[in-house]
Amino acid sequence: MTTEMQELPEPGEIVIATITKVSDHGAYVTLDEYNNVPGFLHISEIAPGWVRTIGRYVKSGEKKVLLVKKVRFDRNEIDLSLNRFQKIKKRKSY
């Protein structure tokens, strides 16, 4: 039996993800650069303020650039943020 450690991104890293499923509380994604490791984009991390309809911001099959918010290595869980990435992008644009 072999135990293979799957490479995961670090918190603060910017990644490209594909939206696989949109639900009422967020969007499930796979990370393109990490062998399609699954991640989650919570509704509170999609846009500033209140998000009434997630479908206005993300759609299944769409690719998004996201910021890695938190990684739980013991559970292979990755929390992502679109809102925080957009804030960083806005600060760096001239």
pTM (2 d.p.): 0.83
Residue 41 forms part of a structural domain: yes
Residue 3 forms part of a structural domain: no
The CATH number of the domain where 24 resides is what?
Answer: 2.40.50.140
> Highest mean pLDDT range out of 30-34, 71-75, 76-80?
30-34
pLDDT: is 57 or 93 the higher one? 57
Residue 39 forms part of a structural domain: yes
Pairing of strands 26-31, 37-42: antiparallel
CA distances from 15 to 18, 46, 60, 76, 94 (A): 10, 15, 17, 16, 22
pLDDT band at 9 (very low <50, low <70, confident <90, very high): very high
73 lies in which domain range? Answer: 14-86
- Is 63 in contact with 16 (CB distance < 8 Å)? yes
- 56 pairs with which residues across the strands? none
* pLDDT score of 74 more than 90: no
The string of pLDDT tens digits covering residues 34-58 is: 999 999 999 999 988 888 899 999 9
Q: Which amino acid is at 59?
A: K
Residue 6 forms part of a structural domain: no
Residue 8 forms part of a structural domain: no
pLDDT band at 93 (very low <50, low <70, confident <90, very high): low
Residue 7 forms part of a structural domain: no
Number of folded domains that form the chain: 1
- Is 39 in contact with 50 (CB distance < 8 Å)? no
Residue 4 forms part of a structural domain: no
